[in-house]
Amino acid sequence: MVRILAVDDERPIAELLRVSLARAGYQCICAYDGVEAADLIEKETFDLILLDIMLPGIDGFELMDYIRSKGIPVIFLTAKNAVSDRVKGLRMGAEDYMVKPFDVLELLARVEGVLRRHGKLQTVLNVGGLEINTLSIKVRRGGVEIPLTRKEYELLLLFARNVGVVLTKNTIYEQVWGGEYPESTRTVELHVQRMKRKVGWDDKIKTVYGMGYRLEV
């Protein structure tokens, strides 16, 4: 399993990261200051680090110097939004730089992108009785392949990586089809119904009235 270290002294944000990453199939360990993070990096193995800059003890920029020698990819997550800070973080070797407050789905997409570039992305997801292979783009239940269209597969993967998260129709349309959700279309509803029927998730994808859908497994 992919292991991610989230370093943030704001515990509610650290907990949000831990829960969101766990729902997406990652193992997330939290550290709340630079010294604790340095100790964990020294003792344990991580595939990615989400790093705040303004930390007690050792700040994120100082910690980045140490992380760079370990070869672990880093995404900065910080309230510092000055261009100079972004440039400094990227020049120090960070893979990406996100400013708080951030959208969780965007963060997960960026995490996925970094892990993919480094060949560390989890290629097989086991969710709700399904085996989803992201390399072969095949979905199986009990060893039997389930034929899906490309959009149905992308929709399934979006739910599988966001277990327990309410996905609005706008978010689903943006992630799967691209662009802003057109209110006059029933594309999302029809594809969700067709996909969940094919994979046997009729009782797992719940409609959250007035909001969207949520996968409960």
- Whether 21 and 111 map to the same domain: the answer is yes
User: Which of 117, 144, 172 finishes a domain?
Assistant: 117
What b/e sequence results for 6-45 when a residue is b if at least 16 CB atoms lie within 10 Å of its CB, and e otherwise?
bbbbeeebbebbbebbebbbbebbbbbbbebbbebbeeee
User: Which of 53, 85, 117 finishes a domain?
Assistant: 117
161 — pLDDT class (breaks 50, 70, 90): confident
List, for residues 26-80, the tens digit of each pLDDT value.
Answer: 889 999 999 999 999 999 999 999 999 999 989 999 999 889 888 999 999 988 8
User: Which of 68, 84, 117 finishes a domain?
Assistant: 117
Q: Which domain holds residue 101?
A: 3-117
Q: The pTM is what? A: 0.73
Residues 29, 67: Cα–Cα separation, whole Å: 16
174-177 long-range CB contacts below 8 Å, 24 or more apart? Answer: 175/105, 175/109, 176/151, 177/151
- Whether 14 and 75 map to the same domain: the answer is yes
List, for residues 117-135, the tens digit of each pLDDT value.
Answer: 998 877 788 999 999 998 7
What is the per-residue pLDDT for 11?
93
Residues 46, 1: Cα–Cα separation, whole Å: 10
